[in-house]
Structure 1
Amino acid sequence: MKYLIDTDYAISFLKGKKEAVEILTKYQNNLAMSVISLAEILDGIYNQPEEKKRLIDLKDFLTGIDILKVDERVATAFAKIRSKLRAKRALLESLDIIIAATAMDQRLVLITGNKKHFERIEGLKIL
């Protein structure tokens, strides 16, 4: 089984939070991350205190993690998920839906600290 790391969980790992460190270490040979999560993490690093150190820490963290890009299949999955959520009046932020669409397209389990947030998405596997 392969896992997709949500942005919040990657940030928790980088901050040294025990649960995130334990979980991501346990699955370290089977991890992937959306390029969207990478962009969100970088957004929180640039022009912030200790930028250089945090970029080095991020580079070390990403070693061995597959970075998954958004393609036509993910875009289609995004549109289908978003339209279902809109019909239920339960929309999430678009970037979160893209991350979920990536997990579903690649048949990955999403590792997130926002389980209730993502449980709105039917068929998404969450750890």
Structure 2
Amino acid sequence: MKRKVPQHILLRLQKISPESQAISSITVYEVYYGAHRSSAPQHFIMLFEQLVLPAIQVIPFDETAARIAGRLRVELEQKGTPIAPADLQIAAIAVATGRILVTGNTRHFAHIPGLDIENWLEVSS
């Protein structure tokens, strides 16, 4: 939460309509968790609630995503490439809704069938 957003990421966001931008409910949980672990939790929570949440759609982990996550967990375990439950839930939400998952850790999500991923930290746009 202390990092400044790189300019190239802000430029990419500007090219996408606000209606197309979204985060998962699991990501919201992770932000609150990180804020509460920080040295200034109230400050980070206030920023998140005033600047981010009003500006972006939050997609819930619903029954469809839960079904996909259950199937994917078994598939990944059988391949020997399991991932953390929260990351699996985020990926399942993206698969269920047909969205692209933007992450700085594409290798982590690369083994998930049906998941489209992009790494915006790379400056190759």
Q: What band does the TM-score fall into relative to the shorter chain? A: 0.7 to 0.9
1:46 to 2:36 alignment: yes
Alignment length, in residue pairs?
115
Distance change >3 Å, CA 24–CA 56, structure 1 → 2: farther
Partners of 1:95 and 1:107 in 2: CA distance: 18
* 1:21 corresponds to which of 6, 10, 14: 10
1:97 to 2:88 alignment: yes
RMSD over aligned Cα atoms: 1.7
Q: Deviations over 1:2-31 (max 9, x none)?
A: xxxxxxxxx5xx722304433334335121
- Higher relative contact order (Cα pairs below 8 Å, separated by 6+ residues): 1
Alignment of 1:60-79 (within 5 A): 60-79=51-70
16-25 vs 85-94, which moves further:
16-25
1:37 to 2:27 alignment: yes
Measured after TM superposition, the shift of residue 118 of structure 1 is 0.6
Measured after TM superposition, the shift of residue 98 of structure 1 is 0.5
* Unmatched tracts of structure 1, length 5 or more: 1-10
Q: Which amino acid aligns with 1:16?
A: K
Runs of 4+ in 1 over 6 A off after TM superposition: none
Q: Deviations over 1:31-87 (max 9, x none)?
A: 111111111110111153222221122121222211111111111000111111011
Give the TM-score, by structure 2 length.
Answer: 0.82
Q: Deviations over 1:77-127 (max 9, x none)?
A: 001111110110110011101000000000000011111111110110012
Match of 2:116, SS state, is coil
Partners of 1:27 and 1:15 in 2: CA distance: 22
Give the TM-score, by structure 1 length.
Answer: 0.81
Percent of pairs with identical residues: 26
Distance change >3 Å, CA 25–CA 118, structure 1 → 2: same
